[in-house]
Structure 1
Amino acid sequence: MPLQEKLDGLWHNISSTALMFVTKGDMNGRHNYPGKPALNPILGILFIIGLIMSIKNFKNLYNKLFLFYFLISLFPALMTYPWENPNMLRTYTVLPSVVYFIGNAIIILCAVVHKIIKNKNKLFRYLILNTLYFILLFSCLYELRTYFKYQSEVFKHSFQIKLPLEKAIKVQIKI
């Protein structure tokens, strides 16, 4: 394989794996709903905010640790054939880092909201905090709906073999 083809494949893997989190996900129904991003829109925004803030505050030991872990966890997906990406199963080890970045974003947003509502009246604080709770609740319900309503149907057909086992694996079973 020529060097240019390898570099093109690596670039495809980098872009498809990066976009898997927020735009176009894995097409394999065994891993998730085909084509659905790994993160819903709310978590995707929080992930990006947290990732950017972790890069910005790189001096923090935990940010260094989770950024390093994130990059190492992406390595298996980056070193595979381009036509097999995006693949969530190859990148499931990034989940601790993803959770850390989302948590960082939530902490940052809470600090910003606290500064905004610190000297406001109780009704305004109540509305802002309940709006944040509603957004997080909506995110949870969105994922539950996807999993139990849509992905459960796809998953049933992901492992289904319509042929007798001997024909499906092309082996003669002698009795």
Structure 2
Amino acid sequence: MAVNASKVLIIVNNWGIEETELTRPLRDLQAAGADVTLAATTLDKCETVEHDRYEGETLTPDAKLSDVQASDYDLLVVPGGTCNVDRIRVNEDAITLAQEFAHEGKPIAAICHGAWLLVNAGLIEGKTASPCRYIAADIENAGGHYVDSQLTVDDANGWKLITSRKPDDLDYFVGAIKDALGD
């Protein structure tokens, strides 16, 4: 499969998403020809932030989390933003989607706090990940291995996990997503 023949699902809460961690994968993958769906908790506008603090861009979701299925997509992206992920990591629809992607052997890409969802979904055990340092203890306590790296790609447990620490790592993160899609 090539990027331009792939379907990518990005999942978020409707506010508190780190702007570039959403917009860069969304727009870079669209520019490469991927069919990208932005799914949020509700169909209300998605309010992003810069550095968890400053108002960012507002985007319109394509679907609700409850209305999408892993079987319709090739890869899952979980952007960061502390408030964003703090909400979706307890959202049953988001947890179920992450579990379905992993159980179907499909790649999951999580940047910054995004890996928090995978902790709550019970998917991090036996995986090596490079999320932001603020959740390193959560990764370790869930049976994963934390490394401080711009990018980590781990194929353990029958599915590919792509993780990066922060917006400065987006070139590596998006590049690894494209590689996973067969670019």
TM-score range, shorter chain: under 0.3
Query: More helix by proportion, 1 or 2?
Result: 1
The structure richer in strand per residue is 2
